Amino acid sequence: RQDKAARLWKKYGVFAYIAAGLLIGGVALNEYLQSRQSADVEAKAAAFESAASELETGNYEAASSSFEALASSDEPIAPIAANLLAEARLEGNADTEAAIAALERAANAETPIGKLSLIKAAYLKSGTSTRAELEAYLGSLPQSEDQFGALAMELLAAKALQGGHTASARPAFSALRFLANVPERAQ
């Protein structure tokens, strides 16, 4: 038995060494990739904090350039950075179009931050857009059964009222009073 085991080890032992080497190499590679990813996340977080600090102190140019880089990335923080980029552009140089463009980067109907971005952009567009344009811009959001749907419905009703279409604004405002998705009024 011992001779047979020694022959098998001599014949196939190299594969055991290769397997052990691959296992150790795989663990090392995994650790390296995790540390690299962790360092990248920390760098993005530091850049975000720095940009937020610049925005808070009124240094809009520096905040805009930092948020621009973060909003252009495919990182999970990009939609939030796009919203803060819009704030920097709106407060910094009152550039509504640039703020809308920043919000549209994050706008979609899938995530809460995406819906919020779409609502914010629609509010910024509401001064120069018709009700029909806003309806097309918001898409199906006013029909969604969440707070964002209620906000979109309210914006469209307000736009109808502004245009003198009280017949279409009144039912929308009445419906908003009874919908479950409307946030409670702050006391």
pLDDT attached to residue 20: 95
pLDDT attached to residue 173: 84
Distance separating alpha carbons of residues 135 and 153, to the nearest angstrom = 9
Distance separating alpha carbons of residues 154 and 152, to the nearest angstrom = 5
pLDDT attached to residue 184: 64
Residues in the chain with pLDDT < 70?
109, 180-187
pLDDT (tens digit per residue) in 35-63: 999 999 899 999 999 999 999 999 999 99
pLDDT attached to residue 145: 84
Burial code (b: 16+ CB inside 10 Å, e: under 16) for 1-36 equals eeeeeeeeeeeeeeeeeeeeeeeeeeeeeeeeeeee
Distance separating alpha carbons of residues 153 and 143, to the nearest angstrom = 8
Whether the full predicted model's pTM is greater than 0.75, yes or no, is no
Distance separating alpha carbons of residues 138 and 112, to the nearest angstrom = 14
pLDDT attached to residue 178: 78
pLDDT attached to residue 183: 60
